[in-house]
């Protein structure tokens, strides 16, 4: 593969053609704030926090690093006044949309946003429309139980027709990737409630200790994916105990 | 040459030194006093599991046909070559828990914040500089050993021979 020369914050590197600028920068230990980027997903460019200043011959412009492929010699700066100003504005807009998203406060403060100058929304929870949950559910889990609905300022993430998400398998990935904690889930005994998507999933109980440990639908997806390997239907803790138990017999046999 | 962690079941005291050493080796400061104040809290990748009279430290066996690797939807679990350990890339892991379900030994766990999965990485950072994995160094009875896989059966043969000669002596 052809190597391409690039300069990031004065550091000259040779990278493979079509590497994403964000990955190159992070490899060099350069900190670029992101909210909608995930290394397991393709480029998206929704939050605009990863903005950097790009120079090619005599042209200079701002670009989002997470969807900037390096195809020719570029000079990238991640810390110019222009970049800082642009990031601050993006963060202000995000904070106006989700003013109560506590997990964003440290980042907002770092970017110099304490109180957004704009009118704050308080009717849509903490969702900032980064699309991580939607993309994970579709591209990685392959279920697509949720998606965007409406346009403009009415845009939200929701289930088809705002009804119960019957396709949801309860894997909880949306909960884990959501940067603002907007997606909520609750395990109570035999059910996992995906509260935000209004789905109730039946849990499988461990055949040994009887504790609920995985949603039945998720179990099915995993065992289909691992065809040929039979899953044990017991929880990880009991699986460890079983391993030791098997060893015990092996040892006892050998000793006696 | 590929090396593996081998446990002598009869030597394990269940003191859980390996768990402590493991958590410490995988935390930020790697200093016991400071690690207590760390967030996220340090977490061991090995669990001492008791059963009857025995206790055994259970960690990832780095299976040849690793089912966790096959099931990972983001290809976050990889191994460089056949003799290398199976490793999880923290960046790509989304915490879906598919691998936890696939692991026949129950050797994987979600992190304390629930956002990713961790398991034994054979202390790759230590072995690269020639040190044995942290649990091996910490075990006071030498129950955990880090051995060349090809030496295992040779060692077994020696033990068997010793056992036979002992029983003949006793007769
Ligand atoms: S719910 Fe969370 S993950 Fe989904 S789009 Fe909104 S902020 Fe992003
Ligand atoms: S991380 Fe690049 S736009 Fe969100």
What CATH number corresponds to the domain at position B124? 3.30.70.20
Question: Which pLDDT tens digit goes with each residue over A107-157?
Answer: 999 999 988 888 888 888 899 999 999 999 999 999 999 999 999 989 999
Residue in chain B closest to A231 (alpha carbons) equals B102
pLDDT at A52 (0 to 100)? 97
Query: A102 is written with which tokens?
Result: 């506590």
Q: What is the pLDDT of residue A256?
A: 43
A36 lines ligand 2 (CB under 6 A): yes
Q: Which two tokens stand for residue B19?
A: 């768990």
Residues ≥6 apart with Cβ < 8 Å to A118: A92, A93, A96
- A144-178 pLDDT tens trace: 999 999 999 899 999 999 999 889 999 999 999 99
Q: Which two three-digit tokens encode residue A98?
A: 């989700």
CA of A67 to the centre of ligand 1 (A): 19
CA A67 and chain centroid, separation: 16
Q: Which residues of B89-123 are buried (b: 16+ CB within 10 A; e: fewer)?
A: eeebbbbbbbbbbbbbbbbbbbbeeebbbbbbbbb
Say how far apart CA B122 and CA B145 lie, in whole Å.
12
Q: Closest-lying ligand to the alpha carbon of A174? A: 1
Neighbours of A181 (CB within 10 A): 15
The ligand minimizing its distance to the Cα of A128 is: 1
Which residues of A fall below an 8 Å CB-CB distance to B? 38-40, 136, 140-142, 171-173, 175-177, 214, 218-219, 222, 225-226, 229, 231-232, 235-241, 243-245, 247-248, 251, 255
A248: left (phi over 0), alpha (psi -120 to 50) or beta: alpha
Mean pLDDT, chain B, rounded, equals: 91
Which residues have a Cβ under 8 Å from the Cβ of B144 and sit 6 or more positions away? B5, B6, B7, B8, B18, B57, B135, B136
Cβ-contact A94, A128 below 8 angstroms: yes
pLDDT at B39: 84
Q: Cα(B167) to centroid of ligand 1, in Å?
A: 68
B40-78 residue pLDDT tens: 889 999 999 987 777 889 999 999 889 999 999 999 999
Domain span holding position B15: 3-59+120-169
Question: Mean pLDDT, to the nearest integer, of A219-229?
Answer: 91
In a domain, B158, yes or no: yes
Domains and CATH numbers, chain A: 3-110 (3.10.20.740), 132-243 (no CATH)
The answer to whether the Cβ–Cβ distance between B109 and A231 falls below 8 Å is no
What is the rounded distance in angstroms from the CA atom of residue A35 to the CA atom of residue A48?
8
pLDDT score of A246 more than 90? no
Measured in whole angstroms, how far is the alpha carbon of residue B12 from the centre of its chain? 14
Instruction: Count up the domains in chain B and report the number.
Output: 1
What is d(CA A221, CA A199) in angstroms, rounded to the nearest whole number? 17
Check if the interface score ipTM surpasses 0.90.
no
Closest Cβ–Cβ partner in A136, A218, A238 for B94: A136
Prediction pTM value: 0.88
In a domain, B138, yes or no: yes
């Amino acid at each position: 593969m052809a190597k391409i020369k690039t300069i990031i914050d004065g550091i000259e590197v040779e990278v493979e053609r079509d590497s994403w600028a964000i990955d190159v920068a992070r490899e060099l230990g350069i900190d670029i704030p992101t909210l909608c980027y995930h290394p397991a997903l393709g480029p998206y460019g929704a939050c605009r926090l990863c903005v950097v200043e790009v120079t090619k011959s005599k042209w200079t412009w701002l670009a989002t690093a997470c969807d900037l492929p390096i195809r020719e010699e570029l000079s990238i700066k991640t810390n110019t006044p222009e970049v800082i100003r642009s990031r601050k504005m993006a963060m202000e807009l995000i904070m106006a949309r989700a003013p109560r998203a506590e997990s964003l406060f440290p980042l907002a403060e770092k970017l110099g946003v304490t109180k957004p100058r704009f009118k704050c929304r308080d009717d849509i929870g903490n969702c900032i429309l980064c699309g991580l949950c939607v993309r994970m559910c579709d591209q990685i889990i392959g279920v697509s139980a949720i998606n965007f609905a409406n346009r403009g300022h009415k845009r939200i993430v929701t289930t088809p027709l705002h009804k119960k998400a019957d396709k949801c398998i309860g894997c909880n990935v949306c909960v884990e990737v959501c940067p603002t904690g907007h997606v909520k889930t609750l395990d109570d005994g035999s059910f996992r409630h995906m509260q935000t998507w209004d789905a109730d999933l039946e849990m499988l109980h461990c055949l040994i200790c009887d504790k609920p440990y995985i949603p039945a639908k998720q179990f099915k997806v995993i065992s289909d994916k691992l065809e040929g390997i039979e899953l044990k239907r017991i929880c990880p803790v009991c699986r460890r105990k079983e391993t030791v138990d098997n060893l015990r017999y092996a040892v006892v046999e050998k000793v006696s | 040459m590929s090396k593996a962690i081998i446990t002598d079941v009869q030597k394990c005291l269940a003191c859980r030194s390996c768990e402590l050493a493991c958590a410490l080796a995988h935390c930020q400061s790697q200093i016991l006093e400071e690690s207590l104040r760390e967030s996220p809290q340090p977490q061991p990748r090995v669990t001492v599991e008791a059963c009857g009279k025995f206790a055994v430290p259970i960690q990832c066996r780095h299976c040849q046909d690793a089912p966790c690797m096959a099931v990972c939807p983001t290809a976050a679990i990889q191994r460089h070559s056949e003799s290398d350990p199976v490793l999880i890339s923290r960046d790509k892991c989304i915490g879906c828990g598919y691998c936890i379900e696939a692991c026949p030994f129950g050797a994987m766990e979600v992190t304390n914040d629930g956002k990713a999965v961790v398991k034994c990485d054979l202390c790759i950072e230590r072995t690269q500089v020639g040190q044995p994995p942290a649990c091996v160094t910490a075990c006071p009875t030498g129950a955990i050993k880090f051995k060349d896989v090809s030496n295992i059966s040779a060692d077994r043969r020696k033990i068997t021979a010793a056992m036979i000669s002992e029983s003949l002596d006793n007769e």
